[in-house]
Amino acid sequence: MIIAAPDKEQALPPLTTGASGEGPLKIAIPVKIGIENSLDEILLFARQQNASDVHLSVNNPIKLRKFGNLIPQTAELLTAISIQKKIESVLKPDQLSKIKTLGDLEI
């Protein structure tokens, strides 16, 4: 079977090509996370822990999905305001609008 190289119309968008994400970190990976950590710190910790998902929901601890299981990472429970601040710090205005309209956003 012969597979042709994709033309420019079929190629991946520029944001999905290039750097592997293995470059130097701007912040340190936390050894442990709490509800006061930034979303970037939580995501770095999740990646280091080989988690497939991060779950942030009101009145629940931060949870990581590892090998199909949701594992609580904090004793403290998240508040609506703490989640909102974390989300607003990293999303673009159109993404924030989508969350407010649909109540959900897959990134």
pLDDT in tens, the chain (107 residues): 344 444 445 444 454 444 556 677 788 899 999 999 999 999 999 999 999 999 999 999 999 999 999 999 999 999 999 999 998 898 899 998 988 898 877 77
DSSP-assigned letter for residue 14: G
CB atoms near residue 90 (< 10 Å): 13
How many residues in the chain? 107
Helices (H), the chain: 39-48, 80-88, 93-102
Q: Position 78: which residue type?
A: L
The rounded distance, in Å, linking the Cα atoms of 88 and 21 is 23
